[in-house]
Amino acid sequence: MINLEGPDDVAAAAETLRLSTRPPHRALGASIEGEPDAVALFDQCYDPFWESVLAFVSAARTAVHDL
């Protein structure tokens, strides 16, 4: 967990990113447990997770460059 101080849009993007880690984490756990649908579940949640990573990086980069 990361505690972030900064502009509201960066904090919102960080929270979205934090929440987006839950489905992939669950899918990895399901894979470890041997659930047959785990790979498909991971594939479904990967793109939303990665999009939230890119959104956070973009918002953070903009905030840093606007200082």
Q: Which stretches of the chain score pLDDT less than 50?
A: none
Question: d(Cα 58, Cα 14) in Å, to the nearest integer?
Answer: 11
Beta-carbon contacts of residue 58 (< 8 Å; ≥ 6 apart): 13
What pTM does this model have?
Answer: 0.82
**The pLDDT of residue 66:** 78
pLDDT tens digit sequence for 26-41? 999 999 999 999 999 9
Question: d(Cα 54, Cα 66) in Å, to the nearest integer?
Answer: 18
**The pLDDT of residue 3:** 66
From start to end of the chain, where are the E strands? none
Phi first, then psi, for residue 4 (nearest 5°) are -120, 130
